[in-house]
Structure 1
């Protein structure tokens, strides 16, 4: 694989603009190469390739101090209550030490042997910007080489600035985590009261410090203290080898001004927060300790992922500079790489060791405080294994897909052989059995579209696992989703084959009970699989779906996040599936399923619920928009809520028109549906997709596009508008089509909406990904558990 492709494949996609633009530099080198091929002077004297430049040294992660989690038994237990001295070694209030390469400026880098000709001169100014002077600019083609080094300097300075900014951010975050961990240790002592159960250690009892001594002692809770737990041994050892003699627990007085910051993510926690806000007294309970430990554990894991990404960013850019300079030396027969790579190695990018040191300290701290001293368990949490593609998934996908095609062909052949299309029981079958199986068909089609979305997201490098908040290694790929969809299709087709017998028993005039209960049994089996507690059939993904569904059901009471409203949008395209579920209840509860007959559509109660279940998905989104508008104070969410309210009115009036007819209801249905269609279409294209921007670099599109062909976006716009007009089928009174029963026509219209939703999914997540790229947002924001109150104001600890 070429380095350029491998380089782009290993990028952190949200930081792609901060990497060295290897492709642009390579294009300039191609121009230099074409010029040299055209110039007869270069053709007459072919250049000899220079020796390859030295590769940049690869930084390695410092080894983990195993003693941080070791000690066993009492030793490890005591260390859990020791005040934490911090992840960094910066003194409180003192400015950060300048790196060794910043002690002096205006450096000149020109490494070359006596027999070698000097090609470039690199200078570093006071702002740590590097400028390269090409000394052979008067040569033929020299202006192209000047342009190359000018672009190279721009990329190098961009990379150094970005890396330095990110390192400063993680150092500040490390300080914050250190302060939070000190409070967590104090809370652990407060809740668990470990001193009462600890024995005397070398004649010194580990009881709590007396109030007199505690009041006189001034604790140093600075996260930037020079004493490092991991580097200086956390457990002081006396001359005679006795350990823990110098044990000092974390000071408890810091809890006096601490407020536990557990956000109300559920209705129950919201109620607790409301009650606790009425009482000024702090209650430190074991449940709050567990929640705080969970939040801190997640924060440390996410922080460690940032460090790993920063380290990868540093290494990849160093490798990129090395590779592009090697190509330059090969094309121009010069030896400029030594000087430039020496500047790279001596820059902040090559000399900064903060990230490696932080990684080792975070590993040691996490293993001790959150992994019970188990090194393997701690590293498994910090470094989750990447998901691997399994051959059995591909095998079963091919097998079930083949079964699906075979069963579909078998059904067509059976219908043709038995002449079921003209059978007397055709209408009876379509009115009673077809709606039951159409539910599975609509779900399977949605899974197919979702699998296609995943495939194209991966192809366009959209980081959908991060956007949806999947745990690393648990996200489903398109093969897994296709496997689930094909398995569902096989079960549904087998049920259809069992119900194709339209001949009744002449004596009882009823069908076989077993075959008539197949759809209900299939629905119960699939529901049982969804809620199955065993670790089979992608349990983490099933629980993720259940949690999102539960949040949608109680959408006004839960904080709205992207996975929740994204799922609610999917549900708005499954209105016909909701109505099929309602038909299940009516058909098997009050219908005569043995004779394939029902009077559901004649019941006023059923008709009311027929409208209600169609409105429910849109209500989810309406409630979510209202909550976001109140929390974020953004009027756009209010407009979005009006959009869903217009859709609710349109769906209700179209359904009423189907039953009541008349010019009045026709006018109302057509008017409300037209308003809702225009509102939804404009919102999709402008807000969700980020298109229709006439002032962008790509007229009527975004400034940045992931799909290389612009025509795809315009075709998608047209298709979105056309598919949104499917509601006209009901308003125009089209009840049946040639060779299609009215129930089949409803399913086809519902399928068109699912296809439109699948197209919407791709562009909606593309827009979200580009927003993350523009803000360099590559990590989740994990809330920290504590706030420190000072002088009546709230301040983070």
Structure 2
């Protein structure tokens, strides 16, 4: 792999603007004329060299074979002479800052082609100073954060002492050791002591203080005297941060402060430990990113200078790389020291001294692609294709396309299985999005907040989608068997329960507590759905409102779940009859309620963000979702009262509200969510930074999004296709909306990625458990 590609794959994408512009420097070197700065020789890199030049280079190589051997240990070669110096690198301290500014003087500017080399070193200095500045600022930030974590650990240790009361426990341990030592049963004393320590959950730092072998009473007394517990005075200046992480705590803190006095309870200690453990893990990941940033940039300078020496036949890399080594990139060791302290602290206080366990938490493993995933993906995909072909053949053989049978099937069975079609289609679109995000190096696991190593790749998503499609298609094929009793006109109960069984199987797999079928991802989805349902009682994060946006495109899926409930529990599913639904007043009400749930959830989420973030855009966004709720209600009422005398009134209301919300939502999609239509950007009418180099893709996406937004107007205009059943038309429109949402997802996450890049935001900010009233307290 070429270094340019390796650098692109290893860099922190959110910091990519702060890395050395390797490609730009490489482009400058390519413009340099390699052989004697002769423009005729450089005009075509593919043209063969003249015979005299080729003979000269061959002679030069032969002469080097007779040069004196410099030895194996003299890796740097012979010392340079004064007249061989090419560059002179100097550092000047900036006014009002401790940071040095590096500047290179090229000593051979009079040579032919020297102007290009002067330009090269000018750009190289710009990149070097940029990297040094960024790295220095980040090091200062992590040093300040390390001081904050020191205060947090002091408070945690003091809280542990008060809650666990180690003095009493230690006294019991010392008395047991003294008595057992007196009787000579030292081994048994160690066993009993270890059992008591494990039973009482004493901190390992105290365990080390009481580990005894064959020491006498004097030694024990001396070690007990040397033991100095942490100071408890720090707790006099500390409050605990109470973050509303549940509906009850949110309601409790609506009238109170988010910071409260310590109650010195066991639950409080456990919560503080978990919160600080999570914060230390994220801080350690930040240090790892910073260390990787330093290493990759130093390596980039080494690569580009070696390339310079090779192209220009000069020896300037040694002098410049010495300057790089003497800068903060090569001399700063704060990051390594802080990382070592974090590791020791985490292992001691959060892993009970088990270094392997502690480092596994600090350094989560990378996700690896498995061959069995690809195998089963191909297997399920092939089975799905075969089942689709079998269903089509069965439809023709059993004459199920006749008008009478088709109507009965579309009114009942089709509505039951269309739910799974919507889910599979959405999963396929999400898999395509994941593939594109990974291809264009979008850090979607960080954006969505996935735990490292647990995010699903496109292969896993396609595997789940193909597996669900196989189950659904097998169930559809079983329901095509028309086992109807000619006397009672009823179908087989066992066959008609297949769709309900399939729904129960999917729910059982989703809520399965065992560590199978991507449990962490399933629980992440369940938690986000719960947060959406409980809005605004949970703090709104990007995964929560992103999922709520997905649910707004699944109105027909939610109505499908409602249909399941009424079809199996309030109707006669053995006759495949659903005429009772048109007469049920409660069904009509619930038909509207379940459709507005995702929009109402987003409306409440926007209100909470408006209160917490004081962002006026959230008020406009909330109004957008409220207007969508109104339009949805108007459309639904109109569809239910098409034959009523007031049908024209409801049609006018549905048309006007739907037209307004369609324009509003389209504008918000393109301008706010995608960040496009910026007139003065580097890419006119798009935005400054784009993932896809072909700009036409964005304009096509804008047009397609507008057209698919207008498709929902079909429910108001009520136009039909002759060969398509009305239920099929509704399903088709729902599928088009899911396709639009899949396209929206890619550009929405792309815009979020560039927002993170613009702010160099590559890690999460985790709230800390303790709040110091007096910041001077250490």
TM-score (norm 1): 0.85
Work out the CA distance in 2 between the residues paired with 1:279 and 1:361.
29
Matched, 1:123 2:90: yes
Work out the CA distance in 1 between the residues paired with 2:524 and 2:401.
43
- In the other structure, the counterpart of 2:604 is 623
Q: Secondary structure at the match of 2:171?
A: coil
Work out the CA distance in 1 between the residues paired with 2:666 and 2:259.
49
CA displacement at 1:781 relative to structure 2: 0.5
- In the other structure, the counterpart of 1:782 is 766
Counterpart pick for 1:610 among 578, 588, 591: 591
RMSD: 2.7
- In the other structure, the counterpart of 1:13 is 13
Counterpart pick for 2:625 among 632, 644, 647: 644
CA displacement at 1:453 relative to structure 2: 0.6
Matched, 1:434 2:434: no
Matched, 1:180 2:152: yes
List gaps (5 residues or longer) in structure 2: 43-48, 68-77, 95-99, 179-203
Q: Secondary structure at the match of 1:123?
A: strand
- In the other structure, the counterpart of 2:131 is 159
* Residues 497-540 of structure 1: CA deviation (Å, up to 9, x unaligned): 01113462212211111110000000011011111111111111
Q: Is the 8 Å Cα contact of residues 236 and 244 (structure 1) preserved in structure 2?
A: no
Counterpart pick for 2:330 among 334, 338, 350: 350
* Residues 158-194 of structure 1: CA deviation (Å, up to 9, x unaligned): 1111111111111111110001100110011111111
Q: Secondary structure at the match of 1:585?
A: helix
CA displacement at 1:262 relative to structure 2: 2.4
Work out the CA distance in 1 between the residues paired with 2:462 and 2:261.
54
- In the other structure, the counterpart of 1:664 is 649
TM-score (norm 2): 0.87
Q: Secondary structure at the match of 2:239?
A: strand
Q: Is the 8 Å Cα contact of residues 35 and 141 (structure 1) preserved in structure 2?
A: no
Work out the CA distance in 1 between the residues paired with 2:267 and 2:226.
31
Matched, 1:405 2:382: no
CA displacement at 1:683 relative to structure 2: 0.5
- In the other structure, the counterpart of 2:721 is 737
CA displacement at 1:419 relative to structure 2: 2.8
Counterpart pick for 1:415 among 395, 417, 421: 395
Q: Is the 8 Å Cα contact of residues 786 and 796 (structure 1) preserved in structure 2?
A: no
Counterpart pick for 1:536 among 516, 536, 540: 516
- Give the helix-richer structure, 1 or 2: 2
Question: Given the superposition, is the C-alpha separation of residues 318 and 235 from structure 1 closer, same or farther in structure 2, using an over 3 Å criterion?
Answer: farther
Work out the CA distance in 2 between the residues paired with 1:774 and 1:697.
15
Work out the CA distance in 1 between the residues paired with 2:110 and 2:470.
73
CA displacement at 1:670 relative to structure 2: 1.0
- In the other structure, the counterpart of 2:29 is 29
Work out the CA distance in 2 between the residues paired with 1:23 and 1:650.
52
Question: Given the superposition, is the C-alpha separation of residues 315 and 234 from structure 1 closer, same or farther in structure 2, using an over 3 Å criterion?
Answer: farther
List gaps (5 residues or longer) in structure 1: 52-110, 207-228
* Residues 721-745 of structure 1: CA deviation (Å, up to 9, x unaligned): 00001112111122x4233111111
Q: Pairwise mapping of residues 191-270 of structure 1 onto structure 2 (< 5 A)? A: 191-199=163-171, 243=223, 245-270=225-250
CA displacement at 1:112 relative to structure 2: 5.7
Q: Is the 8 Å Cα contact of residues 136 and 328 (structure 2) preserved in structure 1?
A: yes
Q: Is the 8 Å Cα contact of residues 259 and 786 (structure 1) preserved in structure 2?
A: yes
Which moved further from structure 2: 391-400 or 781-790?
781-790
Q: Is the 8 Å Cα contact of residues 18 and 158 (structure 1) preserved in structure 2?
A: yes
- In the other structure, the counterpart of 2:456 is 476
Which moved further from structure 2: 275-284 or 595-604?
275-284
Q: Is the 8 Å Cα contact of residues 693 and 702 (structure 1) preserved in structure 2?
A: yes
Q: Is the 8 Å Cα contact of residues 388 and 473 (structure 2) preserved in structure 1?
A: yes
Q: Is the 8 Å Cα contact of residues 239 and 260 (structure 2) preserved in structure 1?
A: no
Q: Pairwise mapping of residues 31-46 of structure 1 onto structure 2 (< 5 A)? A: 31-33=31-33, 38-39=38-39
Q: Is the 8 Å Cα contact of residues 787 and 795 (structure 1) preserved in structure 2?
A: no
Work out the CA distance in 2 between the residues paired with 1:484 and 1:278.
41
CA displacement at 1:708 relative to structure 2: 1.3
Matched, 1:725 2:713: no
- In the other structure, the counterpart of 1:371 is 351
- In the other structure, the counterpart of 2:613 is 632
* Residues 107-162 of structure 1: CA deviation (Å, up to 9, x unaligned): xxxx9612861111111111311111111112221111111111111001111111
Q: Secondary structure at the match of 2:773?
A: strand
- In the other structure, the counterpart of 1:696 is 681
Q: Secondary structure at the match of 1:129?
A: strand
Counterpart pick for 1:295 among 253, 275, 287: 275
- In the other structure, the counterpart of 2:183 is none
Q: Is the 8 Å Cα contact of residues 239 and 259 (structure 2) preserved in structure 1?
A: no
Q: Pairwise mapping of residues 505-524 of structure 1 onto structure 2 (< 5 A)? A: 505-524=485-504
CA displacement at 1:681 relative to structure 2: 0.5
Work out the CA distance in 2 between the residues paired with 1:149 and 1:279.
54
Work out the CA distance in 2 between the residues paired with 1:796 and 1:489.
61
- In the other structure, the counterpart of 1:87 is none
Work out the CA distance in 2 between the residues paired with 1:619 and 1:183.
42
- In the other structure, the counterpart of 1:600 is 581
Counterpart pick for 1:708 among 677, 693, 701: 693
CA displacement at 1:39 relative to structure 2: 3.3
Work out the CA distance in 1 between the residues paired with 2:747 and 2:257.
43
Which moved further from structure 2: 124-133 or 501-510?
501-510
Q: Secondary structure at the match of 1:787?
A: strand
Question: Given the superposition, is the C-alpha separation of residues 181 and 508 from structure 1 closer, same or farther in structure 2, using an over 3 Å criterion?
Answer: same
- In the other structure, the counterpart of 1:679 is 664
Work out the CA distance in 2 between the residues paired with 1:144 and 1:459.
35
Q: Secondary structure at the match of 2:93?
A: coil
Q: Is the 8 Å Cα contact of residues 235 and 246 (structure 1) preserved in structure 2?
A: no
* Residues 338-379 of structure 1: CA deviation (Å, up to 9, x unaligned): 111111111111111111111111111110000000011001
Matched, 1:457 2:437: yes
Which moved further from structure 2: 452-461 or 656-665?
656-665
Work out the CA distance in 1 between the residues paired with 2:254 and 2:577.
53
Question: Given the superposition, is the C-alpha separation of residues 636 and 511 from structure 1 closer, same or farther in structure 2, using an over 3 Å criterion?
Answer: same
Work out the CA distance in 2 between the residues paired with 1:778 and 1:112.
44
CA displacement at 1:247 relative to structure 2: 1.4
* Residues 735-759 of structure 1: CA deviation (Å, up to 9, x unaligned): x423311111111100000000001
Counterpart pick for 2:737 among 743, 753, 762: 753
Which moved further from structure 2: 665-674 or 572-581?
665-674
Work out the CA distance in 1 between the residues paired with 2:725 and 2:243.
53
Q: Secondary structure at the match of 2:712?
A: helix
Q: Pairwise mapping of residues 382-397 of structure 1 onto structure 2 (< 5 A)? A: 382-397=362-377
- In the other structure, the counterpart of 1:137 is 109
Counterpart pick for 1:285 among 265, 269, 277: 265
CA displacement at 1:588 relative to structure 2: 0.6
Q: Which runs of 4+ in 1 moved over 3 A?
A: 33-51, 200-203, 233-245, 271-282, 794-797
Q: Is the 8 Å Cα contact of residues 14 and 772 (structure 1) preserved in structure 2?
A: yes
Question: Given the superposition, is the C-alpha separation of residues 422 and 357 from structure 1 closer, same or farther in structure 2, using an over 3 Å criterion?
Answer: same
**How many equivalent residue pairs?**
710
- In the other structure, the counterpart of 2:71 is none
Which moved further from structure 2: 134-143 or 410-419?
410-419
Q: Is the 8 Å Cα contact of residues 250 and 538 (structure 2) preserved in structure 1?
A: no
CA displacement at 1:695 relative to structure 2: 0.9
* Residues 397-444 of structure 1: CA deviation (Å, up to 9, x unaligned): 110011111101111111123332125311001101100000000000
Which moved further from structure 2: 747-756 or 707-716?
707-716
CA displacement at 1:271 relative to structure 2: 4.4
